[in-house]
Amino acid sequence: MKNFTQIVFIFLFVMANSFAQQEKGIVGQENWLNNWTEFKSNKKDYGDPTQILTGNISQNKKLFSKDVYLLLGDVFVTDNAILEIEPGTVIIGDYKSKGSLTITKGTQIIANGTETNPIVFTSNRDVKKSGDWGGVVLLGDAPNSKFGNGSIASFYSNLNLNEYANVNYGGQDTLSNSGVLKNVRIEYAGRQIGDDRYFSALLLASVGKETRITNVMVSNSGGNSFHVLGGNLALNKLVSYRANGNDFEFNLGTKTVLKNSLAVRSPYNSNTNGSRCLKIKSYDNKADFDFNSSKTFVSAKNLTFLNESENLESDIKMNLIRESIYIGENALLHMNKSVISGFNPAVILDSKIVINQKNLEHIKFSEMYFNNCNGNIFVEFDSNNADLENWYGNSSFFNVYSNSANYETFIDSKSAKRPDFRLKINKIIASNEINPDLRNN
């Protein structure tokens, strides 16, 4: 009986440990990337447009999957209208006119695709490239941290005087509802709009809590994949693939919960601003920041950030890889049960952040898996990170450190058709000892 009890205990311990390992990074009993995502979008032919969208959509409108729609120039949904998009519909951003779609304050988009019939926004070029067209913009009435309300007028090149009201965002309605994005793909967006400035594939400005955004994939964006300015959001099952800009950027006092989401970077994709998986700031210009408003606060859980580098050490020497996460002054991040694999280093804190207990309590990393990174957490321009390693390496945070290749770490990161970026069960040896830096190898 005693031996049986011991066997049961060992079995339960192993199972619990396996589950604890698997629950880091993106999770799910099944691979939730199946069916609705596309990692080889350059191989897809969506057909020629049969309908044109241009100018303002000022009345309720529905797009149907039997048609292929062309975004000609900057298209605005206005006057409290609702744009509904049927599952399986394809909307193409015009390359020559740099098409874009903007959901203005008070309007909604209902893009409720299904797993087997996702809604697709893509480019009309024969050979598609990052930044072929603008992107999708949702503007809401929720608060942000700027003095006065915000505007994205600089994103558009041909606004007339009457259209400036269409590009304002911000207000006091925390519950602001800009609609639904579910089972949606946005491909080859992120056009360049000036020196060091790019459209984001999906821009969410002052978007409120009632907006539902889940199962959205952005691939090959010339700018940021997901860019959040202010607002209050819950984001779930987002995928950023080979963006030239940042995968996820948060700014202007947003309060966002980001869960179960993935960023896959290539060392050969980066725009002039550089690129990270996660960038968190409270302002770009401190003079514009209303210190009576909220700072940016991102709660992140079960994220997987990985770099596709085949030779990490060589790519680092060639300056092709940078940090995975950048945290600015007066910004808060609580990150938990997430994976960061193959970066240089894992995390950089802005040089203006004073390293003390109060500030570090605003930047939390717990139950993390740091794998194969050229160092873990540093202050910008400072190579001495002993204090930070001692703090985050404390056993009370339950952080894990390792050095293993992606194919050893994830279930199937090599598959072109059905990749699976969940952690392999029983392949991770948990350790709270700091892994040696690649620079010392």
Sequential pLDDT tens for the chain (441 residues): 445 444 444 443 444 444 444 589 999 999 999 999 999 998 889 999 999 999 999 999 999 999 999 999 999 999 999 999 999 999 999 999 999 999 999 999 999 999 999 999 999 999 999 999 999 999 999 999 988 779 999 888 778 777 888 999 999 999 999 999 999 999 999 999 988 889 999 999 999 999 999 999 999 999 999 999 999 999 999 999 999 999 999 999 999 999 999 999 998 887 667 689 999 999 988 888 877 788 999 999 999 999 998 888 888 888 889 999 999 999 999 999 999 999 999 999 999 999 999 999 999 999 999 999 999 999 999 999 999 999 999 999 999 999 999 989 999 998 888 999 999 865 554 444 455 454 444
Residue 349 CA to residue 326 CA, distance in Å, equals: 6
**Residue 187 within a domain:** yes
Nearest Cα residue to 157 out of 193, 204, 131: 193
**Residue 30 within a domain:** yes
The SS3 of residue 20 is: helix
Instruction: Provide the 10 A C-beta neighbour count for residue 174.
Output: 16
The SS3 of residue 13 is: helix
- Which one-letter amino acid corresponds to residue 307? N
**Residue 402 within a domain:** no
**Residue 437 within a domain:** no
**Residue 306 within a domain:** yes
**Residue 284 within a domain:** yes
- 218 lies in which domain range? 19-368
Return the CA Rg of the chain: 22
Instruction: Label residues 60-86 b or e (16+ Cβ within 10 Å = b).
Output: eeebeeeebbbbbbbbbbbeebbbbbb
Domain count for the chain, please give it: 1
Instruction: Name 196's Cβ contacts closer than 8 Å, sequence gap at least 6.
Output: 272, 273
Residue 130 CA to residue 223 CA, distance in Å, equals: 8
